[in-house]
Structure 1
């Protein structure tokens, strides 16, 4: 028996995600299990160490310092898949892509396309709503140097697999931010039931992969985008207009149009 009184591995067991993720019948239940997870010792240590030594600007704030669940409606037609929470962003606020420069860039672009109620994301309860979009990541804990290990990615993968399976009835498009997310996502889509092409296409900004319908799964469009990291945005590798254009394309493929306008 585990600490919740249910059979199965404890949160600190490496088998915790694989055991619990597929047993969740709705996203709220999945998110609650994600938050309990302590399956990767290095990530647990780092997220808590970061919280114990906050940046000067956040010294008066209590860090979340737990896994960060996905954010957005359960009937989302568009998913945005990143890398992992930032140590002083999502790991501080408890909401994906919230409170850091990458999130500022992403949510401003989502707002410009009509997929977010406001261009800023500072903390849960700030009024931000997403329209038809769910934002998530293949790794739910902040990693040192923003670099999860392959083993950590594998351990965390059941959460993303279960999340996409729960979204599948309405999901039509996925935008993947960066090479890491692309490499992590494609095997998950295959596990969920979408047929993957061989060889698998390489990541690139604007690359589009269309996976055919299979069984009860509808056709799915997967678009690659450079990650809105400061390394990419400061150098101009990813401009605001580039991201807005790609998100507008993704929204169109998902049948969302401009849901936040009017």
Structure 2
């Protein structure tokens, strides 16, 4: 477990200014703010991953939300997507509380780390392919640091899936050819190049409002993927009764 390595990685990510469009956007949002958060001092920087250095399960999203992670400085914190994700993690026993409102709210993840292939909030929630590729080395480094313990990954959405596959290859796992297509409930085993532990990759619809408000992704569907991935990773899985719909 390389705790110091992840701490240093997070520090370096938070100082990145590699993509001019993203730097300009995240800082503009932090300066103008949203009326509901006028009294907040926005983070306004790249948002590093969140969770323990010995995580057995990794969750990969898309990018921080302009008034969520870009405001609070923590992945999926302070926005509706995070409300859905952390509630589900709590329901299956992988988070200490069901809500995430600020970086100092006491939330702890249990055996799980959350990250994204793009660490800056992008305009319209749409990073460019060039921005995705520029940010990829951070994900590769994070995967290498987590490699001693991580055994399963849940990728939220097609963009994250497409962005993560090359990172898995660079980090030392073999991605099948042709590359597996994204689908909710997809499951692919990636063998380690050095004969070490394999990685089980799970696809899940993103926890965006578009998906959750329309019912494309329900809380039950999300809990099912998380619980299956947790069991595969060797985590306790569901510890408490699932909340009713």
Q: Say whether the 8 Å CA contact 1:177–1:224 is kept in structure 2.
A: yes
The offset of 1:259, in angstroms, is 8.2
Q: Say whether the 8 Å CA contact 1:176–1:182 is kept in structure 2.
A: yes
2-structure distance, mates of 1:193, 1:217? 10
| RMSD over aligned Cα atoms | 1.3
Look up the match of 1:106: 85
- Do structure 1's residue 169 and structure 2's residue 148 form an aligned pair? yes
Aligned residues: 238
Look up the match of 1:214: 193
Residue 52 (structure 1) aligned to one of 31, 36, 59: 31
Look up the match of 1:179: 158
Residue 245 (structure 1) aligned to one of 218, 224, 236: 224
- Moved beyond 4 Å, runs of 4+: none
The offset of 1:52, in angstroms, is 1.2
The 5 A counterparts of 1:1-80 are 26-80=5-59
Look up the match of 1:13: none
Q: Say whether the 8 Å CA contact 1:90–1:96 is kept in structure 2.
A: yes
The offset of 1:201, in angstroms, is 1.1
Partner SS, residue 94 of structure 2 = coil
Gaps of 5+ in 1: 1-23
The offset of 1:51, in angstroms, is 0.9
Residue 119 (structure 2) aligned to one of 129, 135, 140: 140
2-structure distance, mates of 1:62, 1:198? 46
2-structure distance, mates of 1:140, 1:73? 18
Q: Say whether the 8 Å CA contact 1:116–1:260 is kept in structure 2.
A: no
Give TM-score, length-normalised by structure 1.
Answer: 0.89
Q: Say whether the 8 Å CA contact 2:60–2:156 is kept in structure 1.
A: yes
Give TM-score, length-normalised by structure 2.
Answer: 0.95
CA displacement 1:95-139 (0-9 Å, x = unmatched): 000000000000000000000000000001101000000000000
- Do structure 1's residue 125 and structure 2's residue 101 form an aligned pair? no
Q: Say whether the 8 Å CA contact 1:193–1:217 is kept in structure 2.
A: no
The offset of 1:217, in angstroms, is 3.4
Look up the match of 1:159: 138
Gaps of 5+ in 2: 241-245
Look up the match of 1:225: 204
2-structure distance, mates of 1:193, 1:79? 16
1-structure distance, mates of 2:157, 2:134? 20
The offset of 1:258, in angstroms, is 3.5
Q: Say whether the 8 Å CA contact 1:131–1:260 is kept in structure 2.
A: no
Look up the match of 2:183: 204
CA displacement 1:125-158 (0-9 Å, x = unmatched): 1010000000000000000000000110111100
The offset of 1:213, in angstroms, is 3.2
Partner SS, residue 242 of structure 1 = helix
Residue 39 to residue 60, structure 1, CA distance change in 2 (3 Å): same
